[in-house]
Structure formats: structure tokens, C-alpha cells
Amino acid sequence: MAFVVSYVVRTFKQPIIIGYILAGILISPFIIEAGASKEIIHTFSQFGIAFLLFIVGLHMNPKVIKEIGTASLLIGLVQIILTFGFGFLVAFKLLGFNVITSSYIGIALAFSSTIIIMKLLSDKRQLDSLYGKISIGILIIQDLVAVFVLMFISSMSNGTSFSSFAVRGLLNGGGLIFILFLAGFFVLPKMTKSIAKSQELLFLFSICWCFLIAALFSYFGFSIEIGALIAGIVLSISPYSTEISSKIRPLRDFFLIIFFIILGLGIQISNINTIIVSAVILSLIALLIKPIILMILMALFGYTKRTNFLVGSTLAQISEFSLIVLTLGVSMGHISGEVLSIMTLSGIITITLSTYMIIYSNEFYRKMSRIVSVFERKHIKERRKVRRNYDAILFGYNRIGFGILSALKRIKKKYLVVDFNPDTISDLSKLRIPCLYGDVDDLELLDELPLDKIQLAVSTIPDFETNLLLVENIRVINPDVIIIVRAHQIKDALELYKKGANYVLTPHFLGGEYVSKMIGNLKTSEKGYKQEKEKHIKALTERIEKGHEHPEVERN
């Protein structure tokens, strides 16, 4: 059932997680009638959460904290507080829940889905964009806060006072984490270096480590879930964390499917009428109120309305962490199963709608550009006016753009580099290369550029729709300009030619063409290949000095 529903869900460009939960809802009447063991279902659910948190921990290297900018840190913390406060008030005053339940609902609404956002931003190649970096920074803050929330909940049993939690949490939990991190820095690297020589041993060790630390935390009164998370974070220090993650992923995926199906089992079709109103109201907080909070905070930091809108719409959903927190709350007896069902349904609603908001964010922005103008200050720090004319504009300074820029220097053309990566703009500014921060999808940016005066426009941006927009706009303004763009698919290249591109760069095919020409010219001349080798080594060395690497290496 999970396969069938997930297949249908995928055709609508939705995350497969939605398919798992819907499958659980659909089969819940049959599972209950069949008399399935709740104890076994709960055990599988715990395994799913533990493996998920272990993988999350593997990607939460403490070093990433250094990479969080001040803006992301402050925006993330304030957003969590304000969203929690708003969610708490709505749950307590409007929906009539008690203080503890309202607190859980507020916490659940404050977090956004790391798994879904990272996947969609990666698919759109927006991880290095300004709004992508800020969104990821905020997600890291949310994940760190979620860790502390999970520790707090897992150490609280029925009747446990806050003071006793503080003593146990600080002494037991803090001491245990301190010892584990010492082991992570001084013992594990040597162990894993020896173990990593065998792939089977590495796989077995990682599971052993996960279970061992989870059991240790359980012994000291915490949940196995938080133990698995800490086990992953400690192991993230290891140089083999990426490899371990890839080994564990199939096992995690299996138990994760079970976990989300079990979440769906809690929502019986016959009970949906009783929870739908509450679920819709709470969904509106995640879909509307949370983005508005983020856009206001972004505006205060001086970002443009487009960046503010994209960050807000990207984080407009409930997290898988939220569902884990609520599941833990149910197991602790803090909240009822009905509350988990309400928030799970809210998760389905928010993840479904926000996925379309992220995929079609540029189209939504163009339609709402005037409305979101209120979320922009007059003096914004990321926009620079173009004060002179240029002969050529290079859109996207990356591995390909580096070589093209060298060519523009050789033919002595006045050029401008436009890129959406603020780090790239900062590096180019230090080298005194004319540059401008901007996203080609922003039509207001194109209006500011002297497109009617340029002789050459080159785009190394890999996104087809972006290049299509660029070709169409430039060709209307300047019919005589030479336009060079990039495409990965043959059909996309042919479409860009049809729209007016003078040349379409196809990187996947150019390498083979170059080698075939080289073989045709050099044949089997050892001297010729030696010259090509020396020339290539020189070019690669220069790129290494510029910080360029292979895409796969960068993505990891």
C-alpha cells in the first residue's frame, strides 16, 4: 500500500513521506480489525525514529555551528520563539487545549522540515543562493533547539518536577555527552580508521555504536531516540561519517517508512471529521503566520522582498522533528493520541502545500511581488545599482564561468559578473572584479541591468527555466546581442536555440568532443600529450587556488 500510494504521490511532485502517512491512514481500519500488536508497532516506530535521528546526528557536525551567520542565528531563534508563542495562544485560547498540550503544539509549529527543504533546494540547485543559505542556517538552529527539546522531554516522566529534571539533565545528560564527545575527538578517529578497512565491519560498528549509546541513555533515564541522536552527532566528527551515513541509509529508510505509516495508523478515517478543523487552523499558522514572521525579521536585517518571500515560503511547513517530538510526548503520557493525529494531519497539509510553494516559488513571487513589498526596507544592503555600461555580462561565476571570464579579459571587453552566491560576490569584490549580487529570476534585477547596451550575454546557470527567461527578456530588449546559455538536456538546448540563443553550452557532451578532437590532432604523439598534460595541470592548479572542486565533492 505504501508503494502504491507513494507512486501516486510522486506523480504530483510531492515528498514520498506524504505517501507513507496516507498509506497508514488507508490501511488503519484493516490493521485494527486484524488485531495487530500495538507493542510490536510501537517497537518498529521507535526503531524508525532512532535510525532517523542517528542519520540526522551524523550530518550535525559541531563544526557547522561556525558556518551559521549572525542573521540566520538571530532570525532562527526569534522565529522559534514567536511561532511557539502564537501557536501556544491559538491552541490554548481558541482550541481549548491545556497548557502542556498547547506547549507541545507551539513547539511542533516552530520547526520546519530539514529533509524536505534540503531535497527540494538541491533539486532546484538553490543551496548556494542567498535565500538557500539563510534557510539552511535557520534549519540548523531549529535542529539544535529540537535536540535540547528532545532531551528535555525524554528526561521527564510523569510527575517529574522541573528541578529534578534540571539536576538529572545537567549532571547525567551533560556529563554523559561530555564524556562521549571526548571519546569522539580522541578515541573514535583511531578506531574508525582501523575498522574502515572493512566495509562490513564499518556497517556493523555504526549500528553497534547507535544501539550502545541509545541503551546507555535509556539506562540513565533518557529515551533511546535522544541517545541515537547524540550517537550520530559524536560519530559525525569521524572522517568516515559520510560513508557510515550511506551504509545506514537503506536500513533507516525501511524503519522510517514503518514510522510514518504508523503515524498514519493513528489517524482513522472515521475520526477525521473530529480533527480536521483543528488541523486546518494549526496548518494556517505554519503556512501563513510563520512565513510572515520570517519576512518581517528578514526585512529588519535589510534583505530584499524577494529574498524575504523565498525564505518565508521555503520554511512554511511542519517538520518531521515536530512529529517525533509529539510521538515522544504521547509515549511519556504528556499529550493524547488525538493531538498527535491532529498535528500529523497538519503535517500532511503543510508539507503538501509548501512543496508546491517551493517548487513554483518564482511564479508565486511574480504574482505577489507588489503585496510583499511591505516586507522590504528602503535601504537594503544586498542591492547595488549598476552605474556604468558594459560590453558583456556573465551570469553565474562558477567552474565554467571562471574560464569564460578569462576569455573576456583576453578580448578586452568591459564585463560585469552577476551571481546569486554572496560568498562569490565577496571574493570577486576582493579581486576588484566588477560584480553584482542578484538572481536572474528577479525581473526587477534584469530591469536595472544595461541589457540594451551589451554586445555579449553569457549564462552558466544550469537551470533551464532561468535561461529561458533570460533569453526571452534580453532578446526583446536587444535583438543584436550574442547570447550564450547552458543546458543539460538535448531537448532543452534545442528549445533555447528556438527562443533565440546564439549558442547553447552542453557540458556533458563538450568533454567527449574535446577529447575526440585532441585524439584526432595528436594521434599517438607522446610529446603532444605531454604538452596537453602540462597545460591541464596548470589549469587545474589555478582552479584549486581559486577554491574550485568537483561538484560531487562540494555537495558532500
DSSP string, 254-307: HHHHHHHHHHHHTS-GGGHHHHHHHHHHHHHIIIIIHHHHHHHHHHHTT--HHH
pLDDT in tens, 223-268: 788 888 888 888 887 777 778 877 877 877 787 788 788 878 777 6
Does 443 or 466 have the greater pLDDT score? Answer: 466
Is residue 414 predicted with pLDDT exceeding 70? yes
Helices 490-499 and 464-477, interaxial angle, to 10°? 10
Question: Amino acid letter at 170?
Answer: L
How many other C-beta atoms are found inside a 10 Å radius of the C-beta of residue 403?
11
Q: Which CATH class is domain 2-156+173-375?
A: mainly alpha
pLDDT in tens, 33-49: 676 677 787 787 778 77
Is residue 548 predicted with pLDDT exceeding 80? no
Q: 158-174 as b/e, with b when 16 or more CB fall inside 10 Å?
A: eeeeeeebeebbeebbe
pLDDT in tens, 356-385: 898 888 888 878 877 887 777 665 544 555
- The superfamily in CATH containing domain 392-555 is NAD(P)-binding Rossmann-like Domain (3.40.50.720)
As given in the structure block, the three cell numbers for residue 522 are 595528436
* 463-470 contacts, C-beta under 8 A, 24 or more apart: 463/124, 463/125, 464/488, 464/489, 464/492, 464/495, 464/496, 465/362, 466/440, 466/441, 467/496, 467/501, 468/495, 468/496, 468/499, 469/440, 469/441, 470/395, 470/440, 470/446
pTM > 0.85: yes or no: no
Confidence label for 556 from pLDDT (cuts 50, 70 and 90): very low
pLDDT, position 63: 63
The overall average pLDDT reported for the chain is 81
pLDDT in tens, 99-119: 999 999 999 999 998 878 887
Q: 30-66 as b/e, with b when 16 or more CB fall inside 10 Å?
A: eeeeeeeeeeeeeeebbbbbbbbbbbbbbbbbeeeee
pLDDT, position 170: 56
pLDDT, position 382: 47
Residue percentage of the chain with pLDDT more than 90: 18
Q: Which helix (H) or strand (E) covers residue 512, if one does?
A: helix 507-522
Is residue 551 predicted with pLDDT exceeding 50? no
What span, in angstroms and rounded, lies between the C-alpha atoms of 115 and 319?
Answer: 8
pLDDT, position 158: 45
Domain ranges for the chain, please list them: 2-156+173-375, 392-555
Maximal C-alpha separation, the chain: 83
Q: Map grid coordinates 564524556 to a residue.
A: 179
What span, in angstroms and rounded, lies between the C-alpha atoms of 257 and 473?
Answer: 45
What span, in angstroms and rounded, lies between the C-alpha atoms of 232 and 247?
Answer: 13
Residue percentage of the chain with pLDDT more than 70: 89
Q: Map grid coordinates 540566520 to a residue.
A: 72
pLDDT, position 346: 92
pLDDT, position 554: 36
Does 474 or 553 have the greater pLDDT score? Answer: 474
Confidence label for 32 from pLDDT (cuts 50, 70 and 90): low
pLDDT, position 115: 78
Confidence label for 294 from pLDDT (cuts 50, 70 and 90): very high
